[in-house]
Amino acid sequence: MRVLGIVSETHDSGLALVKDGVPELVLEEERFNRIKRTKSFPSLSLSAAFDERGLKLADVDAIALPWNTRRLRQTVAWSLLRRIPASLNLLHARAHPPQRNQIVFLERYIARGLAQHFKVSQSSLPSIFGVGHHDAHAAAFFVSPFDDALVLVMDGYGDDAASSAYLGRGNRLERVWKTGVFNSLGLVYTFVTEHLGFEGFGDEGKVMALAAYGGERFVSVFRDVLREAPDGAYQVNMDYFSYDRYGQIEPVTAKFIAAFGARREMGAPLEDRHRDLAFALQAVVEERILALVRGLLVRFGARNLVLTGGVALNCVANGRVLAEAGIERLWVPPVASDTGAPLGAALWHSHQTLGLPRTTVMTHAYYGSAYVDDAIERALSTANLAFDVMPDAALVGRAARDLADGRVVGWFQGRFEIGPRALGHRSILADPRSIDIRERINRLIKKRETFRPFAPAIPEERAAEFFEISQPDPFMTLAPRVRPDKRHLIAAAVHVDGTGRIQTVSARDNPRYHALLTAFGRLTGVPVLINTSFNEQEPIVAKPEEAIACFLRTEMDVLVIGNCYVSRHERQSGAPLADPAADAYNVHQLKPRSGGQSTRSSALDRKDVRPLKDE
């Protein structure tokens, strides 16, 4: 039984294939069309999932969409009628730029797009099923490590709620609590993000980072914005907001502006009041999430918790939940936001609807496309880059020494990650020991705000030595405190508040990345690297050509792509690498032909994208 989960007409369009309840691949359309948070029909993802893998539509038994559009249409009608005439503004495209009005008829648009892509009639498509939006998020439980858990979904809004709680047992989920679509922690965070001069529905992570630089000036007022409610619940005080009438056209009221000041224009200097508002937002959201989790635990008695939905990307709040809420274990999927909605819809249909047993746990995030050696070498040759092809041990040793010498390494391996975070397959890596490296990467490579931190990656078995953490976190979903006696050793990886958005790396799930961390630790005594996404103001790179282009236009020193090694010095001089230790690594030096092609023979008739399987 193969289920295709798919979505368009809303931000983060994409698809997932699930076979017998086991995820096969997850593809975000933005990785292929290079448009962040694209709403386009995922035709390029379909080509990668089907055409390049030899699959046909006949290999799909059912199609699942992560929206219950009948329920959504009822919610939209209620929203439009409740505050007439002002609420009619919600029909305008500017009121909801991340989502098209066509979302309320998603089945029609998906059916038409699939029929056009596969060149079949709509009547010949497999049956299409609409899954509730929060049901799709909650279905992450089915690939969690828990047999039973409380599942808390928090995002901007779904088809009938802004936050929902479920009890998961075995292959069943039951929703036991929800709150209204406008009573939304996610929307409040988004609209305050916009008020601070950043992009809503995309830059919330920047505000989470900025919050660490603020003070408590606005905290008491913000507690009136997000009020306590009985049993640990919360209530958005709509005296401060008008998004229930105007959406993103005019999301805050005069009362909000009087309390916190005028909106900052994008690119304007950051002032203390901006930092203080970010601090208040983050602090009070953390308080409300903690209270909500505690209240739900009292009511339902669970000790395992799954957090999902866009709000679950708030790794600082997640860290506090794990440390303070009274739970035993916490799991957050790598695709907690809507990037995981197609996967969730397919999982819900497989387990909740069809009753298939659970047989897998998601321990890694490498469910994207992979590219064969020939495709990598051809892309390097086309870019006129000289490169070495190295065996694994030599490659890891060379890269570890580069990192220890202060070089910045672009690291491109295997299937790309799913979700918004680079987890060691499409990463930019550097030495965490010097604070100067953070400034260099932010200014010369990422070209982003200097207040944004980098994530520390560490072998899973060494994590507790450096961080105050009691469980693995392979998906960068927690920001525990760095142990005080270790902070000076990894200065570039420590945020101003003493935390680090950790990634624990296991030898089982990512042996090459684990080996690199271990080798770097042997050289330096510090088994930690700073890790940021392989991109420059664009979606994370997917293909070799995109990685090479990013390397060429930025100040990275080294590119490791598959088993190929490229240095900036070599590409500038056209000369072989001057490396006195090369013989010790038994590296075969490959000189470019005219046009830069490697001397290693290639089987160019093979497909660029190999069949997807767990690595």
pLDDT tens digits along 173-190: 999 999 999 999 999 999
pLDDT at 606 over 80: no
b vs e for 512-524, b when ≥16 Cβ sit within 10 Å of the residue's Cβ? Answer: bbbbbbbbbbebb
Quick one: three-class SS letters along 297-348? Answer: HHHHCCCEEEEECHHHHCHHHHHHHHHHCCCCEEECCCCCCHHHHHHHHHHH
Q: Treating both helix axes as pointing N-terminal to C-terminal, what angle do 185-195 and 204-211 enclose, rounded to 10 degrees? A: 80
pLDDT at 371 over 90: yes
DSSP alpha helix (H) spans, 325-468: 341-348, 373-382, 392-404, 436-440, 463-466
- Cα→Cα distances 362→73, 79, 107, 132, 333, Å: 33, 37, 29, 22, 8
Query: Can you give the C-alpha Rg of the chain in angstroms?
Result: 24
Domain spans of the chain, in order of start? 2-67+100-139+337-353, 185-331, 373-585
Handedness of CA 394, 399, 404, 405 (dihedral sign): positive
Residue 103 — pLDDT band, cuts 50, 70, 90?
very high
What local confidence, expressed as pLDDT, does residue 570 receive? Answer: 60
What local confidence, expressed as pLDDT, does residue 7 receive? Answer: 98
DSSP 178: E
DSSP 542: -
Q: How large is the average pLDDT for residues 234-241?
A: 98
pLDDT at 475 over 90: yes
What local confidence, expressed as pLDDT, does residue 578 receive? Answer: 33
Beta strands in 403-465 (DSSP E): 409-412, 426-430, 455-459
Q: Which residue in this structure is represented by tokens 């990192």?
A: 403
**pLDDT tens readout for residues 489-543:** 999 999 999 999 999 999 999 999 999 999 999 999 999 999 999 999 999 999 9
Assess contact for 394 and 585: CB atoms under 8 A.
yes
Q: How large is the average pLDDT for residues 85-90?
A: 97
**pTM for the predicted model, two decimal places:** 0.92
3-class state of residue 10 by DSSP: strand
Q: How large is the average pLDDT for residues 418-422?
A: 97
How far apart (Å, rounded) are the C-alpha atoms in residues 39 and 48? 18
Q: Which of 279, 262, 254 is nearest to 194 (CA)?
A: 262
Overall residue count recorded for the chain in this entry: 615
520: amino acid identity, one letter: F
Q: Which of 335, 358, 360, 318 is nearest to 471 (CA)?
A: 318
3-class state of residue 375 by DSSP: helix
Handedness of CA 50, 51, 53, 55 (dihedral sign): positive
What local confidence, expressed as pLDDT, does residue 572 receive? Answer: 42
What local confidence, expressed as pLDDT, does residue 351 receive? Answer: 98
The reply to whether CATH 1.10.3720.10 applies to domain 373-585 is no
Class of domain 185-331: alpha beta
Assess contact for 350 and 1: CB atoms under 8 A.
yes
**pLDDT tens readout for residues 445-465:** 998 898 999 999 999 999 999
Q: How large is the average pLDDT for residues 557-575?
A: 79
Q: What percent of the chain has pLDDT over 70?
A: 93
pLDDT at 384 over 60: yes
Same-fold call for 185-331 versus 373-585: no
What local confidence, expressed as pLDDT, does residue 443 receive? Answer: 87
pLDDT at 595 over 80: no
Q: How large is the average pLDDT for residues 587-606?
A: 31
Between 93-102, 352-361, 577-586, the lowest mean confidence (pLDDT) is in 577-586
The arrangement of secondary structure in 2-67+100-139+337-353, i.e. its CATH architecture, is 2-Layer Sandwich (3.30)
> How deeply is 255 buried, as exposed, middle or buried, from its count of CB atoms within 10 A (0-12, 13-18, 19+)?
middle
3-class state of residue 561 by DSSP: strand
Q: Which of 403, 380, 360, 311 is nearest to 565 (CA)?
A: 380
What local confidence, expressed as pLDDT, does residue 249 receive? Answer: 97
The DSSP annotation for 472-523 comes to --TTS---PBBPGGGGGGGGGG--TTSB---EEE-TTT-HHHHHHHHHHHHH
Strands 304-308 and 529-533 come out as unpaired
What local confidence, expressed as pLDDT, does residue 609 receive? Answer: 34
